[in-house]
């Protein structure tokens, strides 16, 4: 099964590591560093197009092949899309 992130970008649900709200998580220096490092390595996929991204999805086929997909959709919207097709969503601690 796949999850549509916007702008014709689809990811396999089994590859999704996490769905994160960009406003809340980018307040942490660790998250900002993580995203900056991913951008430097060319692992960012812009599914937001010209829109301002609201969330990001960490995907990994394996431990070495990680990509970050920026989406213009809210993290809750993406989670609901996933739940409607059998995707398990855990609340943050």
Query: pLDDT tens digits, the chain, 93 residues: what are they?
Result: 889 998 999 999 889 999 999 999 989 999 999 999 999 999 999 999 999 999 999 999 877 789 999 999 999 999 888 776 655 555 543
Q: Is 57 exposed, middle or buried (0-12, 13-18, 19+ CB in 10 A)?
A: buried
Give this prediction's pTM: 0.85
Of 56, 45, 48, the C-alpha closest to 20 is 56
Residue 85: Cβ within 10 Å count? 10
Token couple for 30? 């660790």
Token couple for 56? 């990001």
**CA–CA dist 34, 4 (Å, integer):** 23
């Amino acid at each position: 099964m796949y999850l549509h992130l916007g702008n014709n970008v689809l990811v396999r649900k089994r590859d999704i590591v996490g769905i994160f709200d960009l406003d809340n998580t980018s307040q942490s220096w660790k998250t900002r560093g993580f995203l900056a490092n991913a951008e430097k390595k060319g692992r960012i996929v812009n599914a937001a197009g010209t829109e301002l991204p609201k969330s990001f999805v960490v995907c990994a086929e394996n431990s070495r092949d990680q990509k970050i997909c920026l989406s213009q959709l809210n993290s809750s919207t993406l989670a609901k899309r996933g739940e409607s097709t059998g995707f398990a969503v855990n609340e943050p601690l």
